[in-house]
Chain A
């Protein structure tokens, strides 16, 4: 039983850390602000969740595990909201997009062509 807990906790923590490293490489390599934001909010939800869940399995005391679960819930609730806010702000600030961008759903409607002179 103890060994099983150890293995599960180790696998979860390792998966979270590996996701964090992959996302950090993505931050360095991806072309524009929106792609980098996309890659940065994944470890902040999935990586932190895995890491904290692995720790919650192994940490001493039920109150500590409860705190870790609370931290997971909080992280899951706030990170998407923060990413959404930042994405809107970057779009409002006219952050340049990669040339591979397929669709920009926040662009102004075509009735007002003076809003964005370039097509």
Chain B
């Protein structure tokens, strides 16, 4: 099981690095918000996988809060971009 969680955590790290690269490339605000939301998704997954790996479920609350924060962030950015555009 440790090998599987290692591989999964490595893949999630690769995904977040690619998302950060996307956010660093010059682009629109929406692009960058989407890319950083990808990092949030990877963090949510990684917290759950780490709970499996360590056998300690204390940090699973972070996954809940991360989901809430991701939604709040995206809707705030959407509000900002839509207002500026119209």
Residues of B within 8 A of A (CB): 1, 4-5, 7-8, 11-12, 14-16, 18-19, 21-22, 28, 30-31, 33-35, 37-38, 41-42, 44-45, 48-49, 51-52, 55-57, 60-61, 63-64, 67-68, 70-71, 74-75, 77-82, 84-86
Residues of A within 8 A of B (CB): 6, 9-10, 13-14, 16-18, 20-21, 23-25, 27-28, 33, 36-37, 40, 43-44, 47-48, 51-52, 54-56, 58-61, 63-64, 67-68, 70-71, 74-75, 78-79, 81-83, 85-86, 88-90, 92-95
Question: Which chain B positions have C-beta within 8 A of A94?
Answer: 85
Question: Distance in Å from the Cβ of A15 to the closest Cβ of chain B?
Answer: 10
Question: Which chain B positions have C-beta within 8 A of A44?
Answer: 37-38, 41, 70
| Also in contact, A71 and B57, with CB within 8 A (given A33-B31, A86-B78) | no
**Bound form: Cα–Cα A53–B21 in Å:** 28
Question: Which chain B positions have C-beta within 8 A of A51?
Answer: 8, 44-45, 48-49
| Also in contact, A89 and B78, with CB within 8 A (given A17-B45, A55-B48) | yes
